[in-house]
Structure 1
Amino acid sequence: MANGRVIDPERGLDGIRSVGIRNGRIEAISRTPLRGRKVLDASGLVVAPGFIDLHSHGQDLPGARMQAFDGVTTSLELEAGAARRDAQLLSPARSKRQVGRIRSARHLLRHLRGERSLKGCRTAHRQSNLAYRHSTP
Structure 2
Amino acid sequence: METLKHIDLRTDPAARWYVKDETVQVTFAAEPGELASREGPNRYAAGDAIVTGATGDRWVVSRERFDARYLPVAPGVYRNRPVPVLVREMAQAFAIERSAGGDVLTGKPGDWLMQYGPGDYGITERARFEAVYRPAADPAA
TM band (smaller chain): under 0.3
The TM-score with structure 2 as length reference comes to 0.20
**Greater relative contact order, per chain length (Cα 8 Å cut-off, separation 6+):** 2
The TM-score with structure 1 as length reference comes to 0.21
Q: Which has the larger radius of gyration?
A: 1
Structure number with higher strand proportion? 2
